[in-house]
Amino acid sequence: MAISSDLETSTATTETAAPAVAPATPEAPPAMPTPPGEHPNEAPVLAPIVPQPGKALYRQALPGVMQVPLDLVLAASRKSSLWPMTFGLACCAIEMIGTYMSHYDLDRFGIVPWPSPRQSDVMIVAGTVTKKMAPAVKLLYEQMPNPKWVISMGACATNGGPYTRYDRVLQGVDKIIPVDVYVPGCPPRPEALIDSFLALQDMIMEERSSLGRGA
């Protein structure tokens, strides 16, 4: 309402600036509505509640409110705003970025990339973890606050993939950090990554009673 009234006032002012060409339009802006609190008919009425037997008290006091366990609320809010750390290692990172972009759009699942480990929930290990890189990956994992999850994206992060026979390559990131979801593929398609997030969301709901994992 406020926006539309603003618009109309602005058109009115432009017309006064150039009135010769433009045809006449309604000039007066609509009357402002009365603020709700000041309406005479809306005086707050606090009637005492008489408890009725056979029905929980909170349902009578607050009709329309559901009772759910706290862990369910926590788990549902956790799974709906998974923030993965933007963390690309190799080829899979390109497909990971491709999944964030508008063609596949991970944002619609509440999954927003975040460049800092301190505010992230999920680490996507996208690519080959070499032994030179492994300490950094482990440090990043340790910097993430609990609860945290790890998606091992692609063959290299899962077990070394095509590079597993080379001794400078770590044969799977699960040698250094715990992994929750493994995504197959070299590189996995964006659909596979989306599927892994959906699987992770299911997992969070199933594990909700633990209220997050100890480090």
Partner 1 sequence: MVVEPAVEFETQDLLINVGPQHPSTHGVFRMVLEIDGEVVRDLVPYIGYLHRGAEKLCENNDFRQGIGYMDRTEYLAAHNAELSYVMAVEKLADIEVPERAQWIRMILCELNRISSHFMFLGAFGVDVGVFGTPFIYAWRERETIIDLFEEISGDRMMYAYFRAGGLAWEVPANFRERVGEVLKSARQGVKDFDGLLTENEIFLARTKNVGIISAEDAIEIGMSGPSLRASGVPLDLRKTEPYLYYDQIDFEVITAEGGDVFDRYWVRMQEILQSISIVEQCLERLEDGPIMPEKMPRMLRLPEGEVYIRTEAPRGEYGIYMVSKGGNKPYRLKVRSACLSNLQALKQMSVGQYVADAIIILGSIDIVLSEVDR
Partner 2 sequence: MTTEDGATEAAETAAPDTFADTIWPDVNRTLTAVDVQPERGVLDLIVHIPPADIIRGLNMLKHDEALQFNYLRSLTAVDNEADGVDVVYHLYSVPKNLNLTVKTTLPNDQKVLDTATTVWRAADWLERETAEMFGVTFTNHPDPRPLLMPEDVDMSDTHPLLKSHPFAEIELLQGELLGHNRDAEVED
Chain positions contacting partner 1, by CB under 8 A = 86-91, 93-95, 97-98, 101-103, 115, 127-128, 130, 132-133, 136-137, 140, 156, 162-163, 165-169, 186-187, 189
| Minimum distance of partner 1 from residue 87's CB (angstroms) | 6
- When the beta carbons of 150 and 194 are compared against partner 2, the nearer one is 150
DSSP string, 37-96: GG-GGG----PPP-PPTTS-HHHHHSTT-----HHHHHHHHHHHT--EE--B-SHHHHHH
Considering only 1-9, 34-42, 76-84, 172-180, which stretch makes contact with partner 2 by CB under 8 A? 172-180
Q: Measure Cα distances from 133 to 63, 68, 90, 168 in Å.
A: 56, 44, 11, 10
- When the beta carbons of 176 and 205 are compared against partner 2, the nearer one is 176
* CA neighbor of 145 nearest in space, from 52, 213, 99: 213
Tokens of 56: 């929980």
5 binds, among partner 2, partner 1, none (CB under 5 to 8 A by kind): none
171 near partner 2, rule: CB under 8 A? yes
| Minimum distance of partner 2 from residue 132's CB (angstroms) | 5
174 near partner 2, rule: CB under 8 A? yes
Task: Give strand pairing partners of 183.
Answer: 153
132 near partner 2, rule: CB under 8 A? yes
172 binds, among partner 2, partner 1, none (CB under 5 to 8 A by kind): partner 2
| Minimum distance of partner 1 from residue 185's CB (angstroms) | 10
- When the beta carbons of 160 and 190 are compared against partner 2, the nearer one is 160
Count the residues of the shown chain that bind partner 2, applying the rule CB under 8 A: 16
Tokens 């999920």 belong to 122
Adjacency order of strands within the sheet including 181-183: 84-85, 122-126, 149-153, 181-183
Can you state the angle between helices 91-100 and 190-206, rounded to 10 degrees? Answer: 80
178 near partner 2, rule: CB under 8 A? yes
Question: Which amino acid is residue 123, in one-letter code?
Answer: M
Q: Which residues are near partner 2 by CB under 8 A?
A: 131-132, 159-160, 164-169, 171-172, 174-176, 178
